[in-house]
Amino acid sequence: MATLTLVDITKRFGRSVIAVNNFNLEVEDGEFLVLLGPSGCGKTTTMRMIAGLEEVTEGTIYIGDRDVTGLAPKDRNVSMVFQNYAVWPHMSVFDNIAYALKLKKMSKQDIEKSVKEAARLTKIDELLERYPAQLSGGQQQRVAVARAIAVKPQIFLLDEPLSNLDAKLRVSTRTELKSIHAQTGATSVFVTHDQSEAMSMADRIVVMKDGEIIQVGSPDDVYHESNCLFVADFIGTPPTNFFDADVKSVNGAYHLIHPHFDITLDEKNSAAIKNYGKKAVIVGIRPENITLVEEQKAILSAEVHVSEPQGSHQIVALQLDDHIYKIISPSLPRIEAGDIVHLAFPQSALRFYDPESGLRV
């Protein structure tokens, strides 16, 4: 295995389209790193440059200490699993996995050993004589993964490999992929637009937007300490609730003033707002941090717009003026549309953002 280092990587299409802009990243040996972002943010283009399938406009790519920027894909010791599986329909599962090993002119004994090892890791031992047409989508995806790991690459690339699977299979397959990663110790880069996949699988997440890195951190970092409005809104289901508030100092105490609440800030939050120094702020609160309380303990009250039962919990959409906010509440008692509910939240859950820059205060 090896480290992967991208230095000042830029990819242009034509003169005007910048798909990836000044991208700098180091992936540690054995790390499972996820590139996460909306469609069109440049994550797949970045992966294709790592694989050698896209030419780098500017910058350098290193695998270990080796500059691979100008090398062909076959010379990079990289394996890639695609979204559409890309298994060969005229070959058996065994031959699909063995194909790249045969190109390396390995002995039949070594090929058989490597194929069986990869099949065991991906739990397709009993399918080696079948053809892709005889397999389910999930089984075909396992064949693609087995083919990629059989060559023991230095870098293992996965481009939205779960997006064509149904919801239940997607959840079980991501668990298996994480297990395979733990067993192989491969340095892995995984591309997805699904933040739940990223949160459940990654050692670190790289959040991308418009071809640039917005935030890099552990799943806990990007979720609990989002560095800007974009990340706070993109990560989490439901996403963060945002309130526009005015900042006022009254007798030395700092207040957040909103049409529906007036909060006197504690010492820690007061210090942050004092250093911020502006008169308006956006307050972010995660849905699970807003709780139902008795009216006399409430910070604000709101009318229920709709309730979405989820079995283990319910998502409650609340209407305040023209805005909809969502909270996560226990499944019982059931909350119905039109109910008036009373809400509170701890000040430790508040996150502040600059309305102009969108950056965390």
| Total number of domains constituting the chain | 2
pLDDT digits (tens, 9 = 90+) for 122-148: 999 999 999 999 998 889 989 999 999
- The reply to whether 359 falls in a domain is no
> Residue 323 is which amino acid?
H
Q: Give the CA distances from residue 331 to residues 196, 288, 339, in Å, rounded to whole numbers and listed in that order.
A: 21, 13, 15
Question: Is there a single domain that holds both residue 256 and residue 320?
Answer: yes
Write out 233-299 in H/E/C secondary structure: HHCCCCCCEEEEEEEEEECCEEEEEECCEEEECCHHHHHHHHHHCCCEEEEEECHHHCEECCHHHCC
Q: Domain containing 66: what range? A: 4-234
Alpha helices in the chain (DSSP H): 43-51, 93-103, 108-121, 137-150, 167-184, 195-201, 219-224, 229-234, 267-276
Tell me how far the alpha carbon of residue 323 is from its chain's centroid: 27
Q: Which residue do the tokens 């909306």 mark? A: 38
Question: Is there a single domain that holds both residue 89 and residue 230?
Answer: yes
- The reply to whether 63 falls in a domain is yes
| CATH number of the structural domain spanning residue 164 | 3.40.50.300
> Residue 335 is which amino acid?
I
Are 283 and 352 in contact by the 8 Å Cβ rule? The answer is yes
* Residue that finishes a domain, picked among 198, 219, 234: 234
Please, which pLDDT band fits residue 157 given cuts at 50, 70 and 90?
Answer: very high
Question: Is there a single domain that holds both residue 309 and residue 224?
Answer: no
Question: Is there a single domain that holds both residue 171 and residue 31?
Answer: yes
Q: Which token pair is 98?
A: 């063995």
**Phi and psi of 74, rounded to 5°?**
-65, -20
Question: Is there a single domain that holds both residue 33 and residue 137?
Answer: yes
**Secondary structure (3-state) at 116:** helix
* Residue that finishes a domain, picked among 234, 250, 272: 234
* Residue that finishes a domain, picked among 216, 234, 252: 234
Question: Is there a single domain that holds both residue 39 and residue 58?
Answer: yes
Question: Is there a single domain that holds both residue 15 and residue 164?
Answer: yes
pLDDT digits (tens, 9 = 90+) for 318-337: 999 999 999 999 999 999 99
- The reply to whether 15 falls in a domain is yes
pTM of the full predicted structure?
0.93
Give the H or E element holding residue 300: strand 300-309
pLDDT digits (tens, 9 = 90+) for 182-204: 999 889 999 999 999 999 999 99
Please, which pLDDT band fits residue 33 given cuts at 50, 70 and 90?
Answer: very high
Question: Is there a single domain that holds both residue 211 and residue 283?
Answer: no
Kindly give the interhelix angle for 108-121 and 137-150, rounded to the nearest 10 degrees: 130
| CATH number of the structural domain spanning residue 249 | 2.40.50.140
Please, which pLDDT band fits residue 172 given cuts at 50, 70 and 90?
Answer: confident
Please, which pLDDT band fits residue 15 given cuts at 50, 70 and 90?
Answer: confident
